């Protein structure tokens, strides 16, 4: 029988990270409640939560003590849409929030993640901030098409180095934190290696058995390309911002915080590509 934790609310459960959190909670035999941005009267395990609609807050938060919080990518105005939700959560007795943030956020007061962290601290929630490196899943979602069809990793990152992290590892770490009585306030979650995109291309070449090359376009060319494959202009700008921040920020470093939580080495990019190689098969 599942261990009942219906007081855990998982936001963004249909996305890459949220679905990994749910899978990990399932493997731990722990129940939880998920949210949907549209009303679903026929599924009591999915509660309506629209950050842009305060009418959805009360129903979503009923009986909840812990929240896995994922900021919707389309929402950048934290004071207008996220802070009111957090304030209502405090009024409704929520005690703990686990928030997915980004590596280096403490030096980036201009990004939404910084503002969410600040709001959580101001409201004095017990909390854990998972400050994550770039997801390996960027290669299997956002950049899958270019790798599959053109044998190219096309990213405006120059010689920047990344601590790519597997969302499955993040999901496992988050699930453990959500079901423990005490966790650290801040964890830096990275993969076990620091690599640039030329090295990433070599890893893809080895695992896929064909030559994959890395090209670093200028920003205008990159935006034009993303729009040509169906991205919106705002989506393209967000990608440019993230890659540019990494390119010109201080060099990232490898953290063992995640390894400490899950008790094993986090996933390497080579392991990730090997596990998912069918996604890029021609």
In this model, does residue 218 exceed pLDDT 80?
A: yes
The domain in which residue 240 lies consists of 133-165+190-252+264-282
Check whether residue 99 and residue 155 sit in a common domain.
no
- Tell me if 157 is assigned to some domain: yes
- Tell me if 206 is assigned to some domain: yes
Last-in-domain residue among 112, 132, 152: 132
Q: What is the mean pLDDT of residues 162-167?
A: 95
pLDDT digits (tens, 9 = 90+) for 120-133: 999 999 999 999 99
Check whether residue 21 and residue 125 sit in a common domain.
yes
Give the mean pLDDT of the chain: 92
- Tell me if 15 is assigned to some domain: yes
In this model, does residue 7 exceed pLDDT 50?
A: yes
Could you tell me the pLDDT band of residue 1, with boundaries at 50, 70 and 90? very low
pLDDT digits (tens, 9 = 90+) for 19-36: 999 999 999 999 999 999
Check whether residue 205 and residue 229 sit in a common domain.
yes
- Tell me if 179 is assigned to some domain: no
Distance CA 131, CA 113 (A): 9
Check whether residue 276 and residue 137 sit in a common domain.
yes
Give the CATH number of the domain where residue 51 resides. Answer: 3.40.50.720
What confidence score (pLDDT) does residue 111 get? 85
Count how many domains the chain has. Answer: 2
Distance CA 23, CA 20 (A): 5
In this model, does residue 249 exceed pLDDT 90?
A: no
What confidence score (pLDDT) does residue 73 get? 82
What confidence score (pLDDT) does residue 215 get? 97
Alpha helices in 92-212 (DSSP H): 112-122, 137-140, 144-150, 167-179, 197-208
In this model, does residue 244 exceed pLDDT 90?
A: no
Q: What is the mean pLDDT of residues 238-250?
A: 78
């Amino acid at each position: 029988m599942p261990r009942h934790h219906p007081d855990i609310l998982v936001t963004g459960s249909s996305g890459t990270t949220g679905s990994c959190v749910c899978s990990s909670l399932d493997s731990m035999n722990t129940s939880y409640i998920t949210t949907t941005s549209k009303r679903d009267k026929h599924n009591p395990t999915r509660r309506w939560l629209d950050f842009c609609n305060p009418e959805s807050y009360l129903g979503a938060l009923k009986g909840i003590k812990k929240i896995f919080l994922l900021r919707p990518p389309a929402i950048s105005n934290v004071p207008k849409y996220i802070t009111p939700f957090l304030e209502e959560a405090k009024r409704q007795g929520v005690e703990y929030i686990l928030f997915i943030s980004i590596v280096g956020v403490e030096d980036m007061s201009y990004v939404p993640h910084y503002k969410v962290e600040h709001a959580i601290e101001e409201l004095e929630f017990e909390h854990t901030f998972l400050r994550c490196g770039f997801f390996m899943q960027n290669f299997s979602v956002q950049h899958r098409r270019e790798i599959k069809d053109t044998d190219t990793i096309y990213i405006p990152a120059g010689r920047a180095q990344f601590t790519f992290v597997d969302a499955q590892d993040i999901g496992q770490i988050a699930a453990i934190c959500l079901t423990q009585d005490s966790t650290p306030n801040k964890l830096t979650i990275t993969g076990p290696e620091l690599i640039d995109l030329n090295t990433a291309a070599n890893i893809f070449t080895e695992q896929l058995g064909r030559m994959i090359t890395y090209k670093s376009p200028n920003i205008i060319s990159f935006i034009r390309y993303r729009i040509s494959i169906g991205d919106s202009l705002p989506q393209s700008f967000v990608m440019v911002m993230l890659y540019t921040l990494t390119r010109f920020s201080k060099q990232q470093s490898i953290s063992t915080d995640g390894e400490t939580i899950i008790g094993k080495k986090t996933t390497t990019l080579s392991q990730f590509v090997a596990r998912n190689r069918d996604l890029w098969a021609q």
